[in-house]
Structure 1
Amino acid sequence: MRLQSVDTHLVVALHALLQEKSVTRAARRVGVTQPSMSHALSRLRAHFGDPLLVQVGRQMTLSARARDLTPRAAEAVERLEQVFRPVERFDPGRSRRMFRLVATDNLELLVLPPLTRLLAAEAPHVNLRCRNIPADFAELLRRGELDAKLGRGGPVPDGCRSTLLVAEQLVCVMRRGHPASRKALTAARYAACEHLMVSPHGEDHSVIDRELAARGLRRRVTLTVSHFLVAPFILSGSDLLLTVSARVAGALARKLDLVVRPCPVEIKGYTLTLVWPERSEGDEGHRWLRGAIERAVACEPVAGPGAAGTVRKRAPGRAERG
């Protein structure tokens, strides 16, 4: 049966009749006249081929078919109410909404600490669920199972939008007192060091190695790890050198008194972006979340040479459509 052939007003009347077991009380509940509800009952009886309400003595009772329909009619009315309910304005101070994010661990490191502080101050009851980026993240965004993806910039998936969070540059991080910290870090001295590389997917080489090879140089990657968070603890107790984005370097350096130096190998930086589904473009709560993420990144310190870094604020990026 096609829904077009059904008068959906009858769903509301059916629910009221099954709940009240009285045409008069059902009419009062819905806000129509008694004859109108009586007419609706006649149409419902014809549609289902069943009396629905049966006179037993001085009261009306439900037929077997009506008892079977009762929970389904209640569910149908509830769903209709949800569809036509006015959209509530998002109030971050009172909302108990949950947002689901996926992110690379470097962006978790950069975004989540300041974002958590923003939530505590502005949206104390809002919850976040953040996990690693799956291969099918774009489809999950489009299906509404994810709210946003934070990671390296790239093509914007169909049905999604994107904005630049920050453009990153690479720097070198080492323990204070590292031999390489005592002189200017040239490409040759850089290549002579033993290196730590963060490699989420297990690669042994990167664009840095290709750039060194073009100069006739080669470095030794002594250790690769899959997560940024372990790197500072390794650096603080070794003579390894880590090449990483300036903002990640700032976060690492502040924790364990590490030294930051400019990268002597000219490598083009990369962008970090926020991607979300187009379906959420007009969602007040989602707009607030996107703004909060941008504010969190904009106030994150950037590592300067020799120290933990300074604060640089960035104007919000322009959204791109996929």
Structure 2
Amino acid sequence: MNLGGIDTNLVVALHALLSERNVTRAARRVGLGQSAMSHALARLRDWFRDPLLVRVGRQMVLTERAQALLGPAASAVSSLERVFQQPEPFEPRTSSRVFRIASTDNLELYALPRLAAILAKEAPNVDLRFHHLPKDWMTALERGDFELKLGRQYPIAPTLREEELFRDQLICVVRRGHPLAGTRLTLRQYAAASHVLISPGETARSTIDELLAQRGLQRRIAITVSHFLVAPFVVAASDHLLTIPSRLVEAVAPALRLETVTAPLRTEAYTMTQVWAERSESDAGHRWLRNALRRAIGA
């Protein structure tokens, strides 16, 4: 059935007429003049090829066709109200909303301590569910598996939106007391050392390895781990080198007694972002969450 020719105002008028069984009361119910409601009734009678309301004595009664339409008309009006109703305002102090966030574990470390403090103060009943970042995160985000993705910036689909959180750079660290601690490494020293690599996937290569290959060098990857927060602990207990984001070094180096070394390769700074689906752009709760994350990570 082609719905293009149906006036939704007629659906509202139909529901009012069938419910009130009186043109005057139906007009008052929906805020129309009596003549306008009479005109709507005439159009409805023509559409359904049925009188819908007939006079019996001093009352108007429903025809059998109108009786059959009473339930569907009520459901249709209810559906229209749900479609066009204004969204409820988001009140952080009283909301019990649950937000799902997919993130790399280092972003969780940067964001969660301060974000938890913000929630405790501003939104005590809002819950967060952090998930590991899946390979198909763009599809999962569009599908609604989670509301927000935190991580390194990559080209995104047209249906997604993003915002820069901060920029970071890779630096090299070793355990305290390591023979290379505090030194400036040559390319050959860097390539000759054993390394820990963070790689969530199966590939045991990174941008560093590509830069070394361009210079005809190859480093030894002694250990590959899948999580950012595991690698510093491995390096703290070994003689391996680790090249990681500077912000992660700031977070863990004091506790693990890690020291920096000056690596011979300089990589470009990269951007960390939060990404969300276009449908969440104007959602008041989602806007509050994005703002809270900006404050947490930027603090």
TM-score (norm 2): 0.76
Does the Cα contact within 8 Å between 2:232 and 2:256 map onto a contact in 1?
no
Does the Cα contact within 8 Å between 2:185 and 2:263 map onto a contact in 1?
yes
Distance change (3 Å), C-alpha of 1:124 and 1:223:
same
What is the CA–CA distance in structure 1 between the aligned matches of 2:213 and 2:245, rounded to whole Å?
Answer: 21
Give the deviation of 1:244 after TM superposition: 0.8
Distance change (3 Å), C-alpha of 1:44 and 1:236:
same
What is the CA–CA distance in structure 2 between the aligned matches of 1:264 and 1:82, rounded to whole Å?
Answer: 60
What is the CA–CA distance in structure 1 between the aligned matches of 2:121 and 2:141, rounded to whole Å?
Answer: 30
Does the Cα contact within 8 Å between 1:232 and 1:252 map onto a contact in 2?
yes
Distance change (3 Å), C-alpha of 1:133 and 1:75:
farther
Distance change (3 Å), C-alpha of 1:205 and 1:286:
same
Distance change (3 Å), C-alpha of 1:157 and 1:7:
closer
Correspondence for 1:196: 196
Which is worse superposed, 223-232 or 100-109?
100-109
Give the deviation of 1:261 after TM superposition: 0.9
Distance change (3 Å), C-alpha of 1:52 and 1:233:
farther
Give the deviation of 1:209 after TM superposition: 2.6
Deviations 1:36-95 (A, max 9, x none): 545534432332234545778997766564455444333432343344434555443344
What is the CA–CA distance in structure 2 between the aligned matches of 1:95 and 1:101, rounded to whole Å?
Answer: 18
Structure 1 segment 295-314 matched on structure 2, within 5 A:
295-299=295-299
TM-score (norm 1): 0.71
Correspondence for 1:244: 244
Distance change (3 Å), C-alpha of 1:114 and 1:57:
farther
Give the deviation of 1:199 after TM superposition: 0.6
Aligned residues: 296
Unpaired runs of 5+ residues, structure 2, are: none
Structure 1 segment 61-72 matched on structure 2, within 5 A:
65-66=65-66, 68-72=68-72
Report the 3-state secondary structure (helix = DSSP H, G, I; strand = E; otherwise coil) of the residue aligned with 1:229: coil
Distance change (3 Å), C-alpha of 1:71 and 1:139:
farther
Report the 3-state secondary structure (helix = DSSP H, G, I; strand = E; otherwise coil) of the residue aligned with 1:158: coil
Correspondence for 2:123: 123
Q: In angstroms, what is the RMSD of aligned CA positions? A: 3.8
Structure 1 segment 1-322 matched on structure 2, within 5 A:
1-20=1-20, 23=23, 25-32=25-32, 36-37=36-37, 39-52=39-52, 65-66=65-66, 68-86=68-86, 89-131=89-131, 132-135=133-136, 137=138, 140-141=141-142, 147-181=147-181, 184=183, 186-187=185-186, 189-213=189-213, 218-253=218-253, 256-268=255-267, 269-277=269-277, 281-299=281-299
Distance change (3 Å), C-alpha of 1:41 and 1:245:
same
Distance change (3 Å), C-alpha of 1:45 and 1:100:
farther
What is the CA–CA distance in structure 2 between the aligned matches of 1:198 and 1:37, rounded to whole Å?
Answer: 70
Give the deviation of 1:14 after TM superposition: 1.9
Report the 3-state secondary structure (helix = DSSP H, G, I; strand = E; otherwise coil) of the residue aligned with 1:5: coil
Does the Cα contact within 8 Å between 1:185 and 1:261 map onto a contact in 2?
no
What is the CA–CA distance in structure 1 between the aligned matches of 2:231 and 2:65, rounded to whole Å?
Answer: 67
Give the deviation of 1:290 after TM superposition: 2.8
Unpaired runs of 5+ residues, structure 1, are: 300-322
**Matched AA of 1:123:** A
Does the Cα contact within 8 Å between 1:13 and 1:26 map onto a contact in 2?
yes
